[in-house]
Structure 1
């Protein structure tokens, strides 16, 4: 198949690919140290949640249940309402309920904390991108990046740069990913530094989509090395999948198949099955490929059918499964 593979949106707390989750937000005070802003937690208000606590309420794997938890938190922690609205909007957008998501963004107060202002721009950009308006999303991400840089919020600056890498193409995408990597490497904020694995992943896809498979492979291998230091098995599986996908592009089919055949042992949401089907086709084993494509279609349909950027991926899977 001639499809390319999109960059993946991650962060430091969970991942998006076959065991995905996206979360972001903090309610933090800024302390200046050594000329560079550090982000430190504010004293806990009994009527508020920290950003990490808000993040923990939901996951892209289950945005429906996450939305319920976030809305419940609105009544219990009114001081965090602005941040909670942005996350509710995010969960609704992932369900394809874009009109409701924009209404949720509109509920943010007219004088929000500067971090919330950044998050409004980030989530507005993500809503635009998820609904298929990639060009319009760039303006929001650029504004988020400028606000985060101005306020010395490194974590959000990296987030915005990483999103600009996703919605850009070619050399521009590479430049934004490299800028994000540099910001993460130079930051004194631990959450910002943890972006390195996801940024290397997305940089690898930029090279991949430009047809530079050798550079992409080296970049994915660097992402794998980074994730191996975390000890998180899900995070390790993601760059392993990317390495194998790149090996297929380089026609190193046996190596790619060995990796994917190992990954299929873990719970997955369809991408491994899809890739095994592709490999079996190019290896001249179409009868074995059909059940893999069938399984991929079953697993991917619920999520991809609501994503305008991925919807066209389903029809070939269904055809190849028959």
Structure 2
């Protein structure tokens, strides 16, 4: 039963990310009828309905659903699902709430190691909560912890994502040379792996521009734009960053 519910919930999540919330909720309604009294299936429904509300900017409606998912998933012994719910509770609350829920989730992982892969995402999300609050030193500490976890797990793509957060925060702290060096290393590693790192290249362009290397900034911005101009989510959702990259690329 949970598998069928998961399939419907996964489709609902994709619809939510595409902005089709009505269709997403309709799928969760269908999943809810299948879930019956099964606590894991009900937790999945609550979690994904909460995500739909959160994606629609309705945090006040999302939060109790994430709380319900946290309760039901623990009742079902679905430990990774429980941590997923806790991580969403950290995202939708205040900074103090994010700190508290991250600590709760990490403690829960300590009791249930099978949910261990959630450690790095939890630290990453807490880092961005600190970043958004202007607490860059606190953000950097969490991002660096996330990098260490990703490195130990050997996840190359996730390492790049984690390093991007470190680079962005170093720039916010004014530590431009460190940010530039790490961005250059990360971009070069991506090339060696046959992968793309447009956000790292965006940061490299910004760092080079601030350090007075306008030719280098232009080159990095053009490389970043070659990928990001094809990304409709970025084009539609980040007009200021897109315009900035285009200026740097001239």
TM-score, normalised on structure 2? 0.83
Match of 1:129 in 2: 54
Match of 2:8 in 1: 85
Conserved 8 A contact 1:224-1:239: yes
Match of 1:104 in 2: 27
Pairing 1:145-156 to 2, within 5 Å after superposition:
145-156=70-81
What runs of 5+ residues in structure 1 fail to find an aligned partner?
Answer: 1-25, 28-79
Tell me how many residue pairs correspond in the alignment.
241
Structure 2: distance between partners of 1:125 and 1:132 = 11
Cα RMSD between the aligned structures? 2.5
Structure 2: distance between partners of 1:269 and 1:140 = 35
TM-score, normalised on structure 1? 0.66
SS state at 2:30 partner: coil
Conserved 8 A contact 1:185-1:196: no
> Which structure features the higher share of helix residues?
2
Match of 2:179 in 1: 256
Pairing 1:237-252 to 2, within 5 Å after superposition:
237-252=160-175
Pairing 1:228-239 to 2, within 5 Å after superposition:
228-239=151-162
Structure 2: distance between partners of 1:292 and 1:166 = 32
Conserved 8 A contact 1:178-1:203: no
Higher relative contact order (CA 8 A, sep 6+): 1
Conserved 8 A contact 1:174-1:207: no
* CA shift in 2, pair 1:206/1:235, >3 Å: same
Match of 1:304 in 2: 234
1:186 matched to 2:111? The reply is yes
Cα distance, 1:85 vs structure 2 = 0.8
SS state at 2:33 partner: coil
Conserved 8 A contact 2:32-2:42: no
Structure 1: distance between partners of 2:233 and 2:90 = 23
